[in-house]
Amino acid sequence: MTSNYLKLRFPSLPENVGLARMMAASFAAQLEFTLAEIEEIRVAVSEAVSNCVIHAYPGKPGLIQMNLAIKNNNLVIKIRDYGKGINDIEQAKQATFSTEPERMGLGLVFMESFMDDMGIESQPEKGTTVVMKKHPERGSANAGLSRIS
Partner 1 sequence: MRIETERIGGTLFIQINGELDLHTSPMFKETVEEKLAQYDFIKHLVIDFTNVEFIDSSGLGVILGRFKHMTQRGGRLSAINVSAPLRKVFELSGLLRIMGIYDDRRQAMGN
List residues near a second copy by CB under 8 A: 2, 4-11, 13, 15-16, 19, 22-23, 26-27, 30, 60-61
The interface partner of residue 6, options being partner 1, a second copy, ligand ADP, none and the CB cut-off 5 to 8 Å by kind, is: a second copy
Q: How far is the CB of 11 from a second copy (least distance, A)?
A: 5
Q: Rounded to whole angstroms, what are the CA distances from 125 to 1, 80, 82, 85, 121?
A: 40, 13, 8, 5, 13
Look up residue 109 and give its amino acid. V
The interface partner of residue 60, options being a second copy, partner 1, ligand ADP, none and the CB cut-off 5 to 8 Å by kind, is: a second copy
Nearest C-alpha neighbor of 81 from the set 58, 113, 106: 58
Terminal C-alpha separation, the chain? 22
Dist CA 147 CA 111 (whole Å): 32
Q: One symbol per residue from 56 to 95: x for binding partner 1 (CB under 8 A), - otherwise; what is it?
A: ----------------------------------------
Among positions 44-83, residues that touch ligand ADP (CB under 6 A) are 47, 51-52, 55-56, 81, 83
The interface partner of residue 145, options being partner 1, a second copy, ligand ADP, none and the CB cut-off 5 to 8 Å by kind, is: none
Q: Which is nearer to a second copy, 30 or 113 (CB)?
A: 30
Half-sphere exposure of 59 (CA within 13 A, CB side): 2
Supply φ then ψ for residue 111, to 5 degrees. Answer: -60, -45
Q: What is the largest CA-CA distance in the chain?
A: 57
**Residues found near ligand ADP in the complex (CB under 6 A):** 47, 51-52, 55-56, 81, 83-86, 92, 97-100, 103-108, 128
